[in-house]
């Protein structure tokens, strides 16, 4: 019952504001605790994600579900957030990154390449449009960027390289968007599953035991330090987290040749859009 009430109230927050001096966040706080199942985000994802690709067309016509979820995120205040468990905070930031990426895509849709968005056509990652700065007061910004969430919050605070398989930048070469929210209750399992699916998908990573070769996502090159810090090397991290029938041979293997896929920044829209 609680998620349904949350969604209904969030819709009120997302609707045009009536004449009032009461802030939306002040209305939410006394009535509800934050829904850590992220049911409102699930409502956005339901039926719109296929093999990591997203159906943007319908959401462009009606953004009410997405606006409702974003209203819930912005309704969280810093004192409440500070009391949350680590897993609750981590799930929040991952889902927030993916939801605000989706919002940014809708603002410019249709287009071809994500990295050509923005005034200087450098992509949206340094645009300051995410009103969650109060939850990261150390950054001293009212509004955050996507890079703030990834590189100043997720990576340094949580030190879990699995987040690279969880955040989705809306490009074809990004690890596929999970069709369900990440939740604190099952976060380790969800992150492990997300990593496994990413590593065993030959569109993103390929492993050849006979030739002792691996062709990897560029993420392993760009963020190599995160994987090395956790496991000693990129190869060791993959051997630890990947499906054994695909990458088990990497454990302790010597002289493995490594190359990287070219990164496709083409929007991950469903093919029929």
Q: Which residues pair with 216 in a beta bridge?
A: 260
Residue 238 lies in a domain: no
Assess if residue 22 is contained within a domain: yes
Per the omega criterion (within 30 degrees of 0), is the bond before 98 cis?
no
Structure tokens at 246: 């695909």
CA neighbor of 40 nearest in space, from 95, 84, 88: 95
Query: How far out from the chain centre does Cα 121 lie?
Result: 22
Whether 207 is in a domain gets the answer: no
Question: What string of pLDDT tens digits covers the 273 residues of the chain?
Answer: 444 444 454 544 444 444 334 444 444 444 558 999 999 999 999 999 998 899 999 899 999 999 999 999 999 999 999 999 999 999 999 999 999 999 999 999 999 999 999 988 999 999 999 999 999 999 999 999 999 999 999 999 999 999 999 999 999 999 999 999 999 999 999 999 999 999 999 999 999 999 999 999 999 999 999 999 999 999 999 999 999 999 999 999 999 999 999 999 999 999 876
CA 212 from chain center: how many Å? Answer: 32
Report the Cα–Cα distance between both ends of the chain, in Å, rounded. Answer: 35
Q: Is residue 235 part of a domain?
A: no
Alpha-carbon distances of 186 from 90, 180, 252, rounded to whole Å: 12, 12, 30
User: Domain containing 152: what range?
Assistant: 2-183
Helix-strand-coil split of the chain, %, nearest 5: 55, 10, 40
Which residues lie across from 237 on neighbouring strands?
none
State both tokens at 38.
């992220």
Is 228 domain-assigned? no
**Using CA atoms, how far apart are residues 214 and 137, in angstroms rounded to an integer?**
41
Q: How far is CA 229 from CA 27, 149, 157, 187, 225, in A?
A: 43, 20, 14, 21, 6
In the DSSP assignment, the letter for residue 123 is -
In a domain, 198, yes or no: no
Does 223 map to a domain?
no
Q: Does some domain include residue 157?
A: yes
Structure tokens at 156: 């340094």
CA–centroid distance for 163 within its chain? 8
The number of folded domains in the chain is 1
Answer yes or no: pTM beyond 0.95. no
Buried b / exposed e over 27-38, threshold 16 CB at 10 Å, is ebbeeeebbbbb
């Amino acid at each position: 019952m609680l998620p349904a009430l949350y969604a209904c109230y969030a819709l009120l927050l997302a609707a045009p504001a009536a004449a009032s001096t009461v802030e939306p966040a002040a209305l939410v706080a006394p009535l509800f605790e934050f829904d850590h199942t992220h049911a409102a985000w699930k409502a956005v994802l339901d039926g719109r994600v296929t093999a990591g690709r997203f159906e943007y067309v319908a959401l462009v016509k009606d953004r009410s579900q997405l606006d409702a979820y974003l209203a819930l995120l912005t309704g969280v205040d810093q004192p409440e957030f500070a009391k949350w468990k680590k897993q609750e905070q981590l799930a929040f930031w991952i889902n927030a990154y993916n939801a605000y990426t989706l919002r940014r895509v809708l603002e410019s849709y249709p287009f071809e390449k994500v990295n050509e968005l923005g005034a200087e056509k450098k992509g949206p990652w340094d645009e300051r449009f995410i009103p969650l700065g109060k939850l990261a007061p150390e950054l001293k910004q009212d509004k955050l960027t996507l890079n703030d969430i990834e590189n100043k919050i997720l990576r340094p605070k949580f030190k879990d390289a699995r987040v690279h398989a969880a955040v989705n930048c809306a490009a074809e070469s990004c690890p596929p968007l999970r069709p369900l929210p990440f939740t604190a209750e099952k976060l380790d399992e969800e992150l492990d599953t997300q990593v496994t699916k990413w590593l065993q998908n030959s569109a993103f990573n390929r492993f050849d035991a006979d030739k002792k070769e691996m062709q990897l996502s560029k993420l392993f090159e760009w963020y190599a330090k995160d994987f090395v810090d956790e496991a000693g090397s990129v190869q060791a991290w993959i051997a630890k987290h990947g499906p054994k029938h695909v990458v088990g041979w990497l454990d302790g293997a010597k002289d493995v040749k490594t190359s990287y896929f070219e990164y496709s920044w083409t929007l991950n829209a469903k093919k029929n859009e």
